Structures are given as C-alpha cells and as structure tokens.
Amino acid sequence: MPDPTLDRYAVIGNPIEQSKSPFIHTAFAQAIGQSIDYTKLLAPLGGFAAVVDAFRANGGRGMNVTAPFKLDAFAYATDLAPSAQMAGAVNAMKFEGDKVYAENFDGVGLVRDLVHNLKCPLQGRRVLILGAGGATRGALLPLLAEQPSELVIVNRTVVKAQELAALAQQHSAVQVPVLGLGYDAVQGAFDVVLNASSSSLRAELPPLSADVFAPGCLAYDLTYGKGLTPFLQLAQQADVTRLADGVGMLAEQAAEAFAWWRGVRPDTTAVIAQLTVPLA
Ligand code: NDP
C-alpha cells in the first residue's frame, strides 16, 4: 500500500517490468533527503488514459512515460512544452488540478550526457545520428543548440530522415546545415556518431560504413544495458576508443524530470555508476 503522506509518481508503459525509473527516482530523492512514492504502472494497449485518470484521481503528482505510450501522452496533455511539441511525443507529465503539463526530456538528457558527463563538446563538430524515430526527433533541437558544424541524419527509410532534416531546419534557432540521407549516401568522417536507431535492441547492425568514424571520434549508442552492441563493435573494430551507451542519457532525462517536479536537480553520478553495464 502506498504511504498516503508521500507525493506519488509513476512510470507508465507496456511492458514496464524492465523500467529503471523507480530505482533512479527513489535514489535521487534519498540523495537529497526527500521521500517520494514512485511505482511502475502497466497500462493495457489502448488503456493509457484510463490508467492515468485513475492515478491522478488518487493524488498522483507526475509520471514518466515510456514505450509505447509517448504519443498517447502527447494527446492526453493539456499543456505541451516546446520540447514535447518538437519531439511529437511526451516522456514526462506533471499534474496540477485539471492541467496536465507535458515535456520531453530525452533530447536534453542526451546532450547533457555528451557534453557534461562525457566531456564531448559538440560545437564545431560533425555529428551523425542514425535513425529517424522518436529519439532522433526529440534530440534535434538540443543537438543543434550546441552549434555543431553539421548534423547528418541517416535512416533506412530515407524519406523519414529527409522529413526530420527539414523539420530541424525549420525550427532551429541556429543556422547549422542539417542533411537527411540514406546509408549509402553518407560521405566523410564524423567527430560524434550517435546510434539512435533501435537496431541494438535486436542485436542488429545498421548498414553503416566504418569510414564514418573520424580519429578521436565518440561512438554513442542510445540503447543502454546491452554491453558492446553491434554498432559499438563496428566502432571498436574501426579503432574508436571513446565508446558509450545511453545509460547516462537515461539518468539525465530522469534528473530533468525530477527537478521539474521537485525543484531540486539531483546529481546523477551514483545512479549512472550503479546502472552501468560494462561495454565488453
Ligand atoms: P523508433 O521505433 O521511433 O525508431 C526506430 C528507428 O530505428 C527507425 O528510424 C528505424 O528505421 C531504425 N531501425 C530499426 N532497426 C534498424 C536496423 N536494424 N538498422 C538500421 N535502422 C534501424 O525508436 P526510438 O526512436 O523511440 O528509439 C530508438 C532507440 O533509442 C531505442 O533503442 C531506444 O531504446 C533508445 N532510447 C534511449 C533512451 C535513453 O534514455 N537512453 C531514450 C529514448 C530512446 P526505419 O524508419 O527505416 O524503420
């Protein structure tokens, strides 16, 4: 039974058993001397709104949203932040009366991990991002705000990469060239290569040439907890020594949500250390 004196939060998804969010948010709260009640909610497909309605009726204060409900949350929200509008998806909600405020912290979480944790500034660097799904879409504006020299989006379904490139050019406040290409059209080497495709979830290798990795490049797989994925193996075989997965992004987007709800931004170092799976 939840403690009625504690503020209630949850992560909603299907499946949800694998979620690290309760561990992360409980650790954040403990580290700053707060107590919260944070649970996992399994919603049936097509049943998102009913489960969220019930959680709010029982005093729920906020939610993280994971697959496959990020679009349902977008539709459910009453007030969409620019990050959620640009991503076309929501990964965090805050409930205040009739209001459902919605954000998408995945993109800022990724950039914070790259720039702050991994000490990989993006300004003036050539950046390649694989995939043109929700993760890439949400990352576009935060990546462009760092002013790379160029951002190339590459995807199997080329038209989706082209659409995201056009969207990014349309909404970005900074003038950075953005290209949307198929894998066979990628040219030259990149300082940062981000795998934001879902290939690593099925241990698949995107049809990527090893020539994309510049000397000293960072190869970053947004998928986390899978060790040395086929993408990271390709980079390693191309003599890339700076390899990372998305565990830091996961912790940083959580820290953004926690700060939004609780007014204090927690340090992520301990959580990242505890969740890290060796890249071997
Ligand atoms: P989507 O389902 O929205 O998009 C998947 C993308 O991957 C599509 O562009 C698809 O291409 C591409 N793709 C799938 N399989 C392959 C393959 N074998 N080779 C090349 N491209 C492939 O997924 P999301 O954008 O939501 O998520 C992408 C990844 O990012 C996931 O692995 C997810 O776990 C991770 N992620 C990590 C987060 C973190 O906190 N670390 C947060 C959010 C996501 P096509 O369009 O041609 O089908």
Residue 123 is predicted with a pLDDT of 98
The single-letter DSSP state of residue 201 is G
Residues 17 and 51: beta-carbon distance below 8 Å: no
Fold of 7-104+249-275: Rossmann fold (3.40.50)
For residue 38, give both structure tokens: 């944070």
AA letter at 258: F
Average pLDDT on 59-63 reads: 97
Distance from the alpha carbon of residue 207 to the mean position of ligand 1, in angstroms: 14
Instruction: Say if CB 218 and CB 114 are below 8 A apart.
Output: yes
Choosing from 137, 162, 183, 198 the residue with most ligand 1 atoms within 8 A of its CB, the one to mutate for a pocket test is: 198
Q: Which ligand 1 atom sits nearest the alpha carbon of residue 250?
A: 40
Assign a CATH topology to domain 107-245.
Rossmann fold (3.40.50)
- Kindly list the distances between the CA atom of residue 163 and the CA atoms of 1, 83, 119, 158, 170, in Å, as whole numbers in the listed order: 47, 18, 30, 9, 11
Strand 99-103 and strand 190-195: the pairing is: unpaired
Q: What is the pLDDT of residue 4?
A: 79
- The pLDDT confidence band at residue 163, using thresholds 50, 70 and 90, is very high
Q: Average pLDDT over the chain, rounded to whole?
A: 96
**Ligand 1 atom index nearest CA of 70:** 26
**Is the C-beta atom of 160 inside 6 A of ligand 1?**
yes
Quick check: bond before 266 cis, omega within 30? no
What token pair was written down for 187? 């040219």
pLDDT tens figures, 1-54: 677 789 999 999 999 999 999 999 999 999 999 999 999 999 999 999 999 999
Token output for 155 = 């995807």
Q: What is the pLDDT of residues 250-267, one digit of tens each?
A: 999 999 999 999 999 999
Contact 50, 84 (CB under 8 A): no
List of residues 6+ apart from 243 with CB closer than 8 A: 218, 219, 220, 228, 232, 235, 236, 279
Atom of ligand 1 nearest to the CA of 67: 26
Cis before 177 (ω within 30): no
104 lines ligand 1 (CB under 6 A): no
- Confidence at residue 3, expressed as pLDDT on a 0 to 100 scale: 77
Domain with CATH 3.40.50.720 in the chain: 107-245
Mean pLDDT calculated for residue range 115-129 = 98
The CA-based dihedral angle spanning residues 11, 17, 19, 24, taken in that order and rounded to the nearest 10 degrees: 80
Interatomic CA distance for residues 71 and 2, integer angstroms: 28
DSSP-derived 3-state class of residue 5: coil
Cα distance between residue 52 and residue 30, in whole Å = 26
72-111 pLDDT tens trace: 999 999 999 999 999 999 999 999 999 999 999 999 999 9
Does the beta carbon of 161 sit less than 6 angstroms from any atom of ligand 1?
A: no
* pLDDT for res 1: 65
Q: Is the CB of 178 under 6 A from ligand 1?
A: no
